[in-house]
Amino acid sequence: MLGWDFSPRLSGGVGSACGGLATALARAGTEVLFVLPRLRGDEEPGGVQLVAAEARAVPARASASVASGGRTPASEPDEPASAESLALPPELPPPGASLRLLALESPLRPYQTEEEYARAVRRLLERVRADPPRATARRRSRPAAAEPVAPLPRRAPGAPAPLPPGPLPYGTTRFAEVERYARAALAAVEGESFDVVHAHDWMTFPAALLLREQSGKPLCVHFHSCEFERRGARAVREVRALEQAALDAAERVLCVSHASARTLREHYALEFAKVRVLHNAFAPLPVVERGPRPAPVVLFLGRLAEQKGPHTFLAAAARVRARHPTARFDLAGDGELYPEVRQQARALDLEGAVRFTGFVDGEELARAYAGADVYVMPSRSEPFGIGALEALSLGVPTIVARGAGVTEVVRSVLTFDAGDAEALADKICALLERPSLRRSLVATGLSEVKRLRWDGPARALRGIYGEVVA
């Protein structure tokens, strides 16, 4: 498997899906080697073996990172681990685990723009310059790809830091890094025995295509969302080209919903006989006590990106406040629209009613749901929507945009037309004002989500693997 995250820390539902599927496959007896850009240290699957790529023969220009002792220090989402920590030798758990994570050093991050990629590289190089690796008895020699970093030029205060001249250990652009990462992945898995290549979303597709070409093994490409779903008319042409190449080469195309499969069919050249729908599931969250609240709370949880509809949420919040002046609104998440969304809250005179929590995970995520009276998923395009399953499992009545993939597996949600803030406000008020409706949706939702665990999709996935191997 090739993916860009193994937990919700960076990519929300995609990380949850990758971790849930791979762990459930391993429980069922399928051996999984999961390749991803740099371990963050927050992956906690049962019986996992962390693999250091430095222990392999990695040729020049294919750098690889180390997971020390099964846990690496967490860092900021767009900041790779320090150069010194990457040079420490691995302390691997005993061999024999069915699930192994192979981390390749790379500044690639989910949903990253070119500007964000350049900023991540600059921060990494600045940190290396400020605190170069110290020679220790424990340090291993780094791969040949980690060439000396050129000094960063002086610049005026506040001016953007340019990338230094000369060779870099990473690609000079996001797409150049995707290409470099593909070659690093190819080198890192040399000598591994496997039957299927399974790639999640576009950043991993070039690596998957190289592996398929070299090994001759069948390829499954997994679309958690395509570029058209993420950006619509503003889709990046190069990303769409990579997605099309993967669609052409793959033996199977996995989609998280029938709605997502229809989008692929409408906007890409696709042999529909290849398509298999593999609905997502969820992992139970910690149960947190739902204490009394002085005012009703409405929750938005997701990336602050156009696709997820935070503008619609705030526009609806203003209407709800007109009918329920004490209502509060939590926006949990981060993303490129954060400054714009904050400005919108000020313009709507909602600053005192809106709380921006930033990214939440684990117990914080469970507390966010437990502190809400209503959960809203107002996405303009939502291929699935694992958050709705999590909210329902904790007894939070849920509203989703019509057409969201999650409505193919649960019916105990209210729906509205994406972008219609007035209709969304009416649905929120209905849940705040009608206790009987709330109780009905909560009871039905708890019943529906009981069966939606990752073991089910993993069984279906093993069947798909069987198809392509046969």
CATH number, domain containing residue 342: 3.40.50.2000
Beta partners for residue 116, in sequence order: none
pLDDT higher than threshold 90 for residue 310: yes
Helices then strands, each counted (H, E), the chain: 16, 13
Q: Does residue 110 sit in the same domain as residue 206?
A: yes
Residue 137 pLDDT greater than 60, yes or no: no
Q: How many residues does the chain have?
A: 470
Burial classification of residue 386, based on how many CB atoms lie within 10 Å of its CB (0-12 exposed, 13-18 middle, 19 or more buried): buried
Please indicate, yes or no, if residue 235 is contained in any of the structural domains: yes
% pLDDT > 90, the chain: 61
Print the domain residue range for 340.
Answer: 297-449
Task: Say which range, 51-55, 103-107, 351-355, has the weakest mean pLDDT.
Answer: 51-55
With 80 as the cut, is the pLDDT of residue 55 above it? no
Shared domain for 104 and 176, answered yes or no, is yes
Residue 159 counted as domain residue:
no
What's phi and psi for 332, nearest 5 deg? -105, 115
Dump pLDDT digits (tens) for 185-211: 999 999 999 999 999 999 999 999 999
State the pLDDT at residue 131.
61
| pLDDT tens per residue across span 311-337 | 999 999 999 999 999 999 999 998 889
| Residue 119 belongs to some domain of the structure | yes
Contact, 204 vs 177, CB < 8 A? Answer: no
Are residues 253 and 361 both part of a single domain? no
- Are 17 and 110 a contacting pair, CB within 8 Å? no
DSSP 104-129: E-----TT--HHHHHHHHHHHHHHHH
Q: How crowded is residue 152: how many other Cβ atoms within 10 Å of its Cβ? A: 16
Interval 424-448 mean pLDDT: 97
pLDDT of residue 441: 97
pLDDT at residue 454 above 90?
yes
Instruction: State the average pLDDT over residues 237-241.
Output: 95
* Tokens of residue 244, six digits: 């099309």
Per-residue pLDDT reduced to its tens digit, 90-125: 333 333 468 888 888 888 888 888 888 888 888 877
pLDDT of residue 129: 66
- 117 and 234 together in one domain: yes
Let me know if 434 is exposed, middle or buried by CB neighbors in 10 A (0-12, 13-18, 19+): exposed
- 366 CB-near residues (< 8 Å, 6+ apart): 285, 286, 287, 288, 394
Q: Are residues 255 and 384 in the same domain?
A: no
Report for 55-69, 126-140, 260-274, 355-369: range of highest mean pLDDT: 260-274
With 70 as the cut, is the pLDDT of residue 35 above it?
yes
Q: Which two tokens stand for residue 421?
A: 């803030």
Average pLDDT of the residues in 406-420: 97
Please give the mean pLDDT across all residues of the chain.
82
- Segment 350-356 mean pLDDT: 95
Q: Which of 8, 152, 128 is nearest to 63 (CA)?
A: 128
Q: Do 54 and 194 share a structural domain?
A: yes
209 and 63 in a common domain: yes
The total number of structural domains in the chain stands at 2
